[in-house]
Amino acid sequence: MKLSVMQENLARGLSVVTRAVSTRSTLPVLANVLLRTENAGLKLTATNLEIGITSWVPGRIDGDGALTVPARLITDVVAGLPAGERVDLTVEGTTLRLKAGRYQTHLRGIDAEEFPVIPTAGDRPTTRVSQRLLRQALSEVAFAAASDEARPILTGVLTKLVGERLTLAAADNYRIAVKDLPILQPVEETILVVPARSYQELMRILNDTDDPVDIMLASSKSQVLFHVEGTELVSRLIDGQFPNYQQVLPTSHSCRAVVDRDELLKAVRLSALIASSAANVVRLRVGDPGSSAITIAAAADVGDAEGEVEAAIEGESVTIAFNARYLIEALQNVDGEQLALEFSGPLSPGVIKPVDDPDYVHVIMPVRTPS
């Protein structure tokens, strides 16, 4: 293999694919990135067997070939080269030589034949969706997936494609986040469960543009592929039946408050400083007689805290307690300046909805506390 690429293009491609490099695998080749000449350029690939990321770097090829080299090492070496320099890459046996100006280095690699096969995209996408809309939707949903592997299905995000809509849903034992968004070409009903970690990496790849990302099922139907311009992410799917979250979504409420998201988040964070010393519980009092504010309070051996946030309140008053972390994560990930909080009682789930987005809902289970 012999080719030339620009330093900034190679550095950018490596920074993308190395997100998929395995750090704990017993297979040494999974700590490497695969370099292969393809389509008049350099194809970079890394995988941890759960996800695989491929990026194409334009270049001038003088000889075809492939090799895997340590991902972190080549990334650091290329990052240290002068920007704007041409980098010449030459493979001889299992050694890669990189030369840029007066600098050159040799990296010992592992034969490309030992690298796992990564599925490639089919000729036609299953569907397409705006990168901007998908990135926003994932940021509002993926964080709510479980991190505990005790129930593997809950570490994934339900991804349901039907007609012209995509529904994303994530849940653990304490919260549920659901978002609907339009897709660019209709499809028959397709239900997948994608690991939340895969979606976290996809968010890093997606751009703030309405240009589409192609979504494709691998022929084995055990993996899903996302194609964004010169980058491709492949993720395994999680087997199993995702819980029927719709049964848990409240359909009515007895109290509703519309509040500024940033002000509420600030107040909850302040109370959480005290709550961290007492099971992380914060209490919300909504609709106190003669008050047009939500009171956020916490108490512990170290002290107590209380703050008020102006709100437009309708219905009965309610006092309800939540885990501060779950409340903070919901408020900082929901997109919207004004939020509607809906309650049906101190022991019923609380609901958070952006006022200007009817396609998103976040449900948090309350904490039972002594009265």
Of 246, 263, 286, the residue at which a domain comes to its end is: 246
Establish if 217 belongs to a structural domain.
Answer: yes
147 and 223 part of one domain: yes
Of 204, 221, 246, the residue at which a domain comes to its end is: 246
Tell me the DSSP string of 295-337.
Answer: EEEEEETTEEEEEEEEEEEEE--EEEEEEHHHHHHHHHHS--S
Query: Strand, coil or helix: what is 152?
Result: helix
pLDDT of 314 > 90? The answer is: yes
What is the structure's pLDDT at 24? Answer: 81
What is the structure's pLDDT at 25? Answer: 77
pLDDT in tens, 243-280: 999 998 999 999 999 999 999 999 999 999 999 988 99
Establish if 282 belongs to a structural domain.
Answer: yes
Pair 81, 87: CB distance under 8 Å: yes
Number of domains in the chain: 3
What is the structure's pLDDT at 288? Answer: 79
CATH number at residue 66: 3.10.150.10
188 and 208 part of one domain: yes
Tally of CB atoms within 10 A around 191: 12
What is the structure's pLDDT at 58? Answer: 95
Structural domain for 59, as ranges: 2-114
What is the structure's pLDDT at 322? Answer: 97
191 and 266 part of one domain: no
Query: Strand, coil or helix: what is 367?
Result: coil
131 and 110 part of one domain: no
133 and 240 part of one domain: yes
Establish if 371 belongs to a structural domain.
Answer: no
Give mean pLDDT, residues 53-81: 95
240 and 132 part of one domain: yes
Tell me the DSSP string of 46-107.
Answer: EE-SSEEEEEEEE-EEEE--EEEEEHHHHHHHHHTSPTT-EEEEEEETTEEEEEETTEEEEE
pLDDT in tens, 89-135: 999 999 999 999 999 999 999 999 999 998 765 555 689 999 999 99
Establish if 346 belongs to a structural domain.
Answer: yes
| Secondary element (H or E) of residue 240 | none
pLDDT in tens, 207-233: 999 999 999 987 777 899 999 988 999
Establish if 370 belongs to a structural domain.
Answer: no
When pLDDT is cut at 50, 70 and 90, the band that residue 191 belongs to is very high
Pair 168, 179: CB distance under 8 Å: yes
Half-sphere exposure of 202 (CA within 13 A, CB side): 31
84 and 193 part of one domain: no
Residues 32, 244: Cα–Cα separation, whole Å: 40
153 and 204 part of one domain: yes
Establish if 162 belongs to a structural domain.
Answer: yes
273 and 338 part of one domain: yes
Tally of CB atoms within 10 A around 205: 19
pLDDT in tens, 268-313: 999 999 999 889 999 999 987 778 999 999 999 999 999 999 999 9
240 and 290 part of one domain: no
Establish if 83 belongs to a structural domain.
Answer: yes
Establish if 369 belongs to a structural domain.
Answer: no
81 and 185 part of one domain: no
Give mean pLDDT, residues 152-169: 96
pTM exceeds 0.85: yes
Of 246, 265, 290, the residue at which a domain comes to its end is: 246
Residue that has been written with the tokens 């492939």 in this structure? 66
pLDDT in tens, 36-59: 998 889 999 999 999 999 999 999
71 and 143 part of one domain: no
Sheet holding 127-130, edge to edge: 66-70, 32-38, 41-47, 51-58, 231-236, 223-228, 212-217, 127-130
What is the structure's pLDDT at 200? Answer: 96
Residue 125 or 7, more confident? 7
